[in-house]
């Protein structure tokens, strides 16, 4: 009784500060032959203006977890709440930027793409136009506002997707490996731009990646997930200035995380029976 | 195994160049000449083919010299102009097109209803795939005797066969178009908060538009052929005959040039619908959106 009460109190205290909370979430999905457990009892809090990175090797369920936060998947166990309300389905309070370039509507111009979610959700036309043009300017695409998505490069398409999500002013911005399909130079530029954007707007971000370097650069807080099934291995603070990339402290954190990921993998492979 | 070791390739000097503007090349982007532009114009190239075809026809028919079986191009053109001037061809064409538009519209509506049911419910999917598998291979003309029995001689029978010929082809294309819409686009639509009908019309329909347009084209071609053939069989009994009946009538009076004129009209309508209506629809939609290359 006493224990339960204190646990409740702790949960209530957490809710007060956390914008969003993932509590003991187990996720499963079916493939034609298997029922796969993607994450097992994952708990984490997301605070306002956090840049929370979900980092892990492939198969740690990080993308699945992000999809559950977006509302595409219902947890088998545990709850996901935003501002104290449980997530029941996808919605514009949690806009998502996907990895694939085909997330833009090809039949709409850049401007119309950015305006579309706002119009669907009842933002008046004039206001939507103003917010769209602000967001497009923020991602440096003002010159391409009237272009169709097929005329843009991959990096530009991702910028439009970010602008589209930001213009909605969501509670949380979800990004699922948004730069994984970009070349290294563009990726680096996009990471810097994202940080600059955060400096200007201070939004809340949940970012999925499998790159340790990207996690350290982008994140203010890094959740390291272990694979098969995904469990929280560690939660670390990051927060390097953009020009710290490659410095000794940066290197140290990289090494620490890669030890976490690869040493675990080595032991799990050693103990796993041969197939 | 080999003795040569690539690690010890002979060292070569490094160098850096200053990039200068090319001299003597003129503009980097040079406008194309008139002839080059003309050659790149598909309308012009196809026009040339038509002219060559007409010329070959004229020469062959003159050499054959048998107006009863094969009139010359000029005779056919004369018959066509006469038919248009006397108002017979436009009137027959109007009758045919009116029937077509009504049948096409009904077919599309039913196809849209079917496909919407198929993407929203599982029983709808089963119904659609079973029906298309059963009826799509069935030539519309084969239903004509049955249509005559049910609806009698006249327009309702024609509309029935047109609906049959349009419906399955369009429904099949629409459905496969909806299924091929990428998962990312679907998820993006759902994060915007779109559900049900608004999801179908704001995301699925435009995203599947290339397939839908292909379905519309196939449906149109089926409907047009079916209609002309059906009119040949019993167009006159509806009181006013269409183009098919015009062809049949003139064959009976051995006015072969007018038969050819009727056939030319059938082809001309086909070309206009394909080359003008559908082409401009494509240019304003899927080609502009980068869903189809020019």
Q: How confident is the model over B70-121, as pLDDT tens digits? A: 888 998 899 899 989 998 888 888 888 888 999 999 999 999 888 888 887 8
Closest by Cβ to A91, choosing from B187, B193, B285: B193
Instruction: Return the higher-pLDDT residue of A211 and A268.
Output: A211
Which chain B residue is nearest to residue A148, measuring alpha carbons? B289
- DSSP of chain B, one letter per residue? --S--GGGPPP-----------SSS--SS-PPPHHHHHHT-HHHHHHHHHHHHHHHHHHHHHHHTBTTTB--HHHHHHHHHHHHHTTHHHHHHHHHHHHHHHHHHHHHHHHHHHHHHHHH-HHHHHHHHHHHHHHTTS-GGGGHHHHHHHH-SSHHHHHHHHHHHHHHHHHHHHHHHHHTS-HHHHHHHHHTT--HHHHIIIIIHHHTHHHHHHHHHHHHHHHHHHHHHHHHHHGGGGSS--HHHHHHHHHHTT-HHHHHHHHHHHHHHHHHIIIIIIHHHHHHTTTTTTSS--
**Per-residue model confidence (pLDDT) at position A58:** 79
Domain that holds residue B218: 67-284
**Per-residue model confidence (pLDDT) at position B56:** 94
CATH number of domain containing B143: 1.10.3720.10
Does a structural domain hold residue B53?
A: no
**Which residue of B185, B192, B285, B291 is the best one to mutate when testing the A interface, meaning the one whose CB has the most A CBs within 10 A?**
B192
pLDDT at B293 over 70: no
Look at A90 and B209 and tell me if their CB atoms are within 8 Å.
Answer: no
Residue B53's pLDDT band, with cuts at 50, 70 and 90, is very high
Q: How many domains does chain B have?
A: 1
Note whether A116 contacts B: Cβ–Cβ < 8 A. Answer: yes
Residues 203-222 of B with CB under 8 A from A: 203, 206-207, 209
Q: What angle do CA B5, B7, B8 make, to 5 degrees?
A: 80
Which chain A residue is nearest to residue B188, measuring alpha carbons? A103
Does a structural domain hold residue B34?
A: no
Does a structural domain hold residue B4?
A: no
Residue A158's pLDDT band, with cuts at 50, 70 and 90, is confident
Note whether B283 contacts A: Cβ–Cβ < 8 A. Answer: no
Residues of A in contact with B200 (CB under 8 A): none
Please give the CATH topology (third level) of the domain spanning A20-93+172-275: Rossmann fold (3.40.50)
pLDDT at A59 over 60: yes
**Per-residue model confidence (pLDDT) at position A275:** 41
Structure tokens given for B167? 């419906």
What is the average per-residue pLDDT within B142-154?
A: 83
Q: Which residue has the tokens 């002309």?
A: B228
What is the average per-residue pLDDT within A246-272?
A: 71
Does a structural domain hold residue B127?
A: yes
How far is the alpha carbon of A196 from chain B, nearest alpha carbon, in Å? 25
Does a structural domain hold residue B90?
A: yes
Q: Which has the minimum average pLDDT: A160-174, A199-213, B12-26, B272-286?
A: B12-26
Q: How confident is the model over A72-88, as pLDDT tens digits? A: 888 888 888 888 788 88
pLDDT at A7 over 60: no
Residues of A in contact with B213 (CB under 8 A): none
**Per-residue model confidence (pLDDT) at position A210:** 87
**Per-residue model confidence (pLDDT) at position B25:** 66
What is the average per-residue pLDDT within A139-147?
A: 85
Q: Which has the minimum average pLDDT: A173-182, B23-32, B223-232?
A: B23-32
Does a structural domain hold residue B83?
A: yes
Q: What angle do CA B279, B284, B290 make, to 5 degrees?
A: 100
What is the average per-residue pLDDT within B159-167?
A: 90
Instruction: Return the higher-pLDDT residue of B7 and A169.
Output: A169
Mean of pLDDT over chain B: 84
Q: How confident is the model over A221-234, as pLDDT tens digits? A: 888 888 888 888 87
**Per-residue model confidence (pLDDT) at position B196:** 78
Mean of pLDDT over chain A: 81
Phi and psi of B293, rounded to 5°?
Answer: -80, 150
Look at A102 and B182 and tell me if their CB atoms are within 8 Å.
Answer: yes
Residues of A in contact with B207 (CB under 8 A): 105-107
Note whether A178 contacts B: Cβ–Cβ < 8 A. Answer: no
Look at A105 and B206 and tell me if their CB atoms are within 8 Å.
Answer: yes
Note whether A61 contacts B: Cβ–Cβ < 8 A. Answer: no
**Per-residue model confidence (pLDDT) at position A9:** 54
Question: Which residue from A162, A224, A210 is spatially nearest to A189, judged by alpha carbons?
Answer: A162
Does a structural domain hold residue B160?
A: yes
Classify the complex by whether its ipTM is higher than 0.90, answering yes or no. Answer: no
What is the average per-residue pLDDT within B219-234?
A: 84
Evaluate whether A23 touches A69 at the Cβ level (below 8 Å).
no
Q: Which has the minimum average pLDDT: A95-104, A124-133, A243-252?
A: A243-252
What is the average per-residue pLDDT within A120-141?
A: 86
Ranges of CATH 3.40.50.300 domains, chain A: 20-93+172-275
Look at A120 and B291 and tell me if their CB atoms are within 8 Å.
Answer: no
Residue A272's pLDDT band, with cuts at 50, 70 and 90, is very low
Q: How confident is the model over A126-136, as pLDDT tens digits? A: 888 888 888 88
How far is the alpha carbon of A143 from chain B, nearest alpha carbon, in Å? 18
**Which residue of A120, A132, A181 is the best one to mutate when testing the B interface, meaning the one whose CB has the most B CBs within 10 A?**
A120
What does DSSP say about strands A221-226 and A51-55: parallel, antiparallel, or unpaired?
parallel
Percent of the residues in chain A that have a pLDDT greater than 70, as a whole number: 88
């Amino acid at each position: 009784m006493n224990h339960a009460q204190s646990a409740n109190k702790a949960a209530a205290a957490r809710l007060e500060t956390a914008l969003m909370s993932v509590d003991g979430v187990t996720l499963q999905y079916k493939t034609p032959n298997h029922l796969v457990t993607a994450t097992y009892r994952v708990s984490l809090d997301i605070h306002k203006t956090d840049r929370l990175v979900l980092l892990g090797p492939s198969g740690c369920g990080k993308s699945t977890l992000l999809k559950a936060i977006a509302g595409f998947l219902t947890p088998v166990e545990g709850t996901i709440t935003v501002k104290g309300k449980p997530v029941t389905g996808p919605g514009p309070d949690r806009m998502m930027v996907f990895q694939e370039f085909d997330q833009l509507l090809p039949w709409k111009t850049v401007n119309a793409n950015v305006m579309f979610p706002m119009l669907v959700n009842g933002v008046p036309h004039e206001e939507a136009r103003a917010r769209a043009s602000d967001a497009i300017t923020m991602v440096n695409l003002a010159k391409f506002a009237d272009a169709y998505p097929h005329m843009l490069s991959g990096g530009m398409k991702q910028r439009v997707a970010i602008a589209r999500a930001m213009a909605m002013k969501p509670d949380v911005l979800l990004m699922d490996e948004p730069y994984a399909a970009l070349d290294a130079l563009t990726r680096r530029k996009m990471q810097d731009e994202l940080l600059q954007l955060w400096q200007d707007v201070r939004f809340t971000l949940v970012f999925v990646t499998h790159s340790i370097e990207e996690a350290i650069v982008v994140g203010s807080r890094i959740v390291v997930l272990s694979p098969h099934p995904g469990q929280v291995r560690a939660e670390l603070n990051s927060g390097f200035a953009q020009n710290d990339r490659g410095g000794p402290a940066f290197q140290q954190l990289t090494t620490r995380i890669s030890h976490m990921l690869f040493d675990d993998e080595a032991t799990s492979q050693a103990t796993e029976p041969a197939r | 195994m080999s003795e040569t070791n690539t690690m010890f390739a002979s060292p070569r000097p490094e160098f850096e160049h200053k990039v200068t503007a090319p001299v003597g090349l003129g503009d980097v982007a040079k406008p194309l000449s008139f002839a080059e532009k003309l050659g790149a114009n598909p309308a012009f190239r196809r026009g040339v083919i038509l002219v060559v075809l007409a010329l070959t026809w004229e020469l062959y028919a003159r050499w054959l010299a048998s107006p009863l079986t094969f009139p010359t191009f000029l005779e056919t053109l004369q018959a066509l102009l006469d038919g248009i001037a006397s108002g017979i061809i436009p009137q027959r064409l109007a009758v045919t097109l009116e029937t077509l538009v009504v049948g096409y519209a009904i077919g599309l509506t039913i196809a849209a209803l079917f496909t919407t049911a198929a993407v929203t419910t599982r029983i709808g999917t089963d119904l659609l795939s079973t029906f298309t598998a059963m009826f799509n291979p069935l030539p519309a003309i084969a239903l004509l005797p049955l249509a005559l029995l049910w609806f009698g001689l006249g327009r309702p029978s024609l509309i029935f066969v047109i609906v049959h010929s349009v419906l399955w082809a369009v429904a099949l294309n629409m459905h496969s178009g909806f299924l091929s819409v990428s998962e990312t686009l679907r998820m993006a639509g759902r994060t915007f908060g779109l559900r049900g009908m608004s999801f179908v019309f704001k995301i699925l329909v435009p995203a599947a538009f290339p397939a839908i347009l292909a379905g519309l084209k196939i449906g149109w071609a089926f409907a047009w052929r079916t209609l002309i053939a059906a009119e040949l069989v019993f167009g006159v009994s509806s009181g006013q005959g269409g183009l098919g009946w015009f062809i049949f009538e003139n064959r009976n009076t051995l006015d072969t040039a007018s038969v050819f004129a009727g056939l030319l009209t059938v082809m001309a309508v086909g070309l206009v619908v394909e080359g003008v209506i559908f082409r401009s629809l494509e240019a304003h939609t899927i080609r502009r959106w980068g869903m189809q290359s020019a």
